[in-house]
Amino acid sequence: MKKQSSLTKLFEYAGRYKYLTVLSWVLSAVSALVALIPFVYIWKIIKEVLEVSPDYGAAQNLAHSGWMAVLFALLAMLIYVGALMCSHIAAFRIASNIRSQIMHHIVTLPLGFMDSFGSGMLRKIINESSAATEAYLAHQLPDRAGAITTPIGMLALLLVFDWRLGLLSLMPIVLAFILMATMTGAKMRTKMKEYQDALGQMSNEAVEYVRGIPVVKTFGQSVFSFKRFKASIDNYEKWVIAYTKNLRLPMMFYTTVINAVFAVLIAAALIMTQSGVSNTFLLNLLFYIIFTPIITVTLTKIMFSSENQMIVADALERIDSVMALTPLPESMRPAYLTDNSVMLDDVSFRYNSAKANALDHVSLHIMPGERVALVGPSGGGKTTLASVIARFWDVNSGKIMIGGVNIKDIPKEELMNTVSFVFQESKLLKTSILENVRMAKPDATREEVTAALEAAQCSDIIGKMPNGIDTVIGTKGIYLSGGEQQRIAIARIMLKNTPIIILDEATAFADPDNEFKVQAAFTALSKGKTVIMIAHRLTTIVSSDRIFVLKDGHIEETGSHGQLIQSKGPYARMWLEYNRAAKWKVGVKHELA
C-alpha cells in the first residue's frame, strides 16, 4: 500500500477548507511572479541612465519606470497578503479539526491507554503536533509555492538579457541544491524523528517528575527521583549537539554558496571585459548583481519549508499513532442492567508490554449491595481487576458481567452511570468547588451539590473558604490537602450516585484526621451500593462482607475477616505482619517521645 503524503493526510482533516489552501498557493505563485516585474523596470532605469550619461537631464522615462516598479511591488504585496489570509483561515480550521478529531477519538478509547503514552507525551501530540501543521499550512506551504515559482520567472530573466551571465548565476544555485539535498534527505527525516522522540521523552519525564514531587519529598528520594528526568535531558543534549555538529559543514558551505553569486559574476566580468566594456554588458552586469540576491531568499525559503515538511510528517505520524488505537467496541445489541451485581468468569488479562498475565483465570461473584475488599502484595492484580470491571481495558479472555449483562454489551453511557471509581490520588480542576463536584452531574442544582458535600464530610472545608462552594481552587493561595481533595472527589461520586463504587487506596495519603472523615464519607457513600475496595491498611476492611486475596493475578483465598484469620492462610500472615508494623511504629514514637 502506497504511503500517504503529509499533504494528503492534512487534506483529510481540511474538508472544504482545502480549497482555500490551494487558492493560497495560486495567489502566492502569482505574487512571486508579479514581484519580479519591478526588476524589469529597474533594468529599464539603469539602461536609460547609461544611455544618456553624462547628460542625465535628458532621461524622459525614469519617473514612469520608478512608479511602475513601485506599483507592481505593492500589487505583489497585496496578492501575497490575500494568499496568507486564505492559508491562515485554512490552517487554523485544519489544526482545530485535528485537535477535535483526536479528542473525540480519545473519548472512545479505553481509559487505561494513558498508561502507554504518558500524559506529557499525549499533551505534546495534541497541542504541539497540531500546532506544527498550523505553521506549515499558514506560512511554509504558500512560501514554498512562491519559492518554486520564482526560479521559473528568474530563469527567463536571467537568460533573456545575457545568457552567459545567466548561466553563471545558475551554477551556485545547482551547487546549493546539491548541498540542500544532503541536509533534507531521508537520513535527515530519521534524525528529525529522533529529535522529536527525545523532546517528547523529556516533556513526558518533566510532567511525571513534577507530579511526583509530593511523594518524592515525603520519602526523601529527591536525587534518585530526578535520575530519569536528568537522563532524558542528557539524552536530548547529546542528540542536539551531535545533530548540530553533523550539519555544521554542509550548512557552512550552503550559506557560502548562496551568498556568493555576485562574487562569481564579478570574477566572470573581469575575465570577459579584458578587451573592453560595453554599455550593454555593464547594464546587464549591474542588473544581475542587483537581481541575484533573490536566489538566496528563494533557496532559504525552500530549505526551511523542506525542514518543516519533515517536522509535519513526524507530527502527523504521532497523531496517527493515537488515531490508530482501537476504540472500545460498542455492541450492536445493547443490553441494560437488572441489578448491581458483578461477576468475573474465567477472566485473563495481560498488558501490551507485559510478558505475563496481570489477571490469570480469575472468577468471582459479588452480590448486589455487597461490600468486598481486594488485598494482596503490590503487583498482585488488585488495581487491574478493578480497572477491567470499570472497563478501563477489555479482557483478553473470559467475561465480566454487571447486572447479568456482559459489560461489552452495556452502552458506554450506561456503564459510566453504573460504576464510579475513586482513585488513590484524586485530581481537581482549577475552578470552583461547585463546578468540580458538578462535573459528575452537569445539570445538578446548587442544593444537590451542597447536600453531596455535606454527606462527604466537607462542611469544615467549605467553612474555611472565602467564597464557600464558589471558591476557585488553586488561586490566591487557596489549596487543599490530599485528604481534603479526596473528600471533594467523594462528594462528586455521591452526586453521581452510581450503584457500584470502586475505591482504589482512597486513604493512602490522608492524615489521621482526614482519614477519619474520609472513612465516614465512605460509610455514607456505600449505603445500599455494591462496593469494591482496594486497600493496604487492613484495619479499613475488617468489616467487609468478603475479602479477596490476590497474588500474581490469582485469587488465593476469599472469605470474611474472621474466616480468613481462622484459616491461617496468606491473609492471616498479612494481618499479623500488619499489626507488628503498627506496634513497631507505636513503639518508635513512644521512645522518641
Strands 359-366 and 342-349, bridge-based pairing: antiparallel
Sign of CA dihedral 48, 52, 54, 59: negative
Collapsing DSSP states into helix, strand and coil, what is residue 425?
coil
8 Å CB contact between 298 and 150: yes
- DSSP letter for 328, please: P
Provide the pLDDT confidence category of residue 218 given band limits of 50, 70 and 90: very low
Report how far residue 20's alpha carbon sits from residue 23's, in angstroms, rounded to the nearest whole number. 5
Report how far residue 76's alpha carbon sits from residue 38's, in angstroms, rounded to the nearest whole number. 10
Q: Which range, of 10-24, 543-557, 558-572, averages the lowest pLDDT? A: 10-24
Report how far residue 459's alpha carbon sits from residue 243's, in angstroms, rounded to the nearest whole number. 58
CA 284 to chain centre: 54
Work out the average pLDDT over 510-533: 73
Cell numbers for 271, please give them: 575575465
Cell numbers for 45, please give them: 532605469
Report how far residue 207's alpha carbon sits from residue 419's, in angstroms, rounded to the nearest whole number. 29
Considering 220-229, 237-246, 264-273, the range whose residues carry the highest mean pLDDT is 237-246
* Digit-coded pLDDT (tens) for 266-299: 777 777 776 666 667 776 777 777 767 777 777 6
Work out the average pLDDT over 341-356: 88
Report how far residue 462's alpha carbon sits from residue 466's, in angstroms, rounded to the nearest whole number. 9
* Digit-coded pLDDT (tens) for 472-503: 887 666 778 777 888 888 888 888 888 898 88
Q: Which range, of 23-37, 125-139, 189-203, 236-250, averages the lowest pLDDT? A: 189-203
Candidates 512, 427, 538; CA nearest to 474 is: 427
pLDDT of 577: 84
Report how far residue 551's alpha carbon sits from residue 538's, in angstroms, rounded to the nearest whole number. 16
Candidates 562, 545, 566, 111; CA nearest to 365 is: 545
Report how far residue 503's alpha carbon sits from residue 423's, in angstroms, rounded to the nearest whole number. 6
CATH fold of 6-323 reads ABC transporter transmembrane region fold (1.20.1560)
**Which amino acid belongs to residue 169?**
S
8 Å CB contact between 201 and 322: no
pLDDT of 4: 64
Angle between helical axes of 293-323 and 261-272 (0-180°, round to 10)? 150
* Digit-coded pLDDT (tens) for 53-97: 777 677 788 888 889 989 999 999 999 999 999 999 988 888 888
8 Å CB contact between 486 and 518: yes
Q: Which residue has the higher pLDDT, 275 or 134?
A: 134
Q: What are the boundaries of each domain within the chain?
A: 6-323, 342-567
Residue with cell 475479602: 547
Q: Which range, of 198-212, 240-254, 495-509, averages the lowest pLDDT? A: 198-212
pLDDT of 77: 93
8 Å CB contact between 489 and 425: no
- What number of other Cβ atoms are within 10 A of residue 254's Cβ? 22
Report how far residue 22's alpha carbon sits from residue 3's, in angstroms, rounded to the nearest whole number. 22
Long-range contacts of 165-171 (CB under 8 A, 24+ apart): 165/265, 165/268, 165/284, 165/285, 165/288, 166/288, 168/264, 168/265, 168/268, 169/261, 169/264, 169/265, 169/288, 169/292, 169/295, 171/264
Provide the pLDDT confidence category of residue 380 given band limits of 50, 70 and 90: confident
pLDDT of 303: 65
Cα–Cα–Cα angle for 204, 426, 201, rounded to 5 degrees: 5
Task: Name the average pLDDT for the chain.
Answer: 78
- What number of other Cβ atoms are within 10 A of residue 99's Cβ? 17
Cell numbers for 444, please give them: 445538578
CATH no. of 342-567: 3.40.50.300
8 Å CB contact between 362 and 555: yes
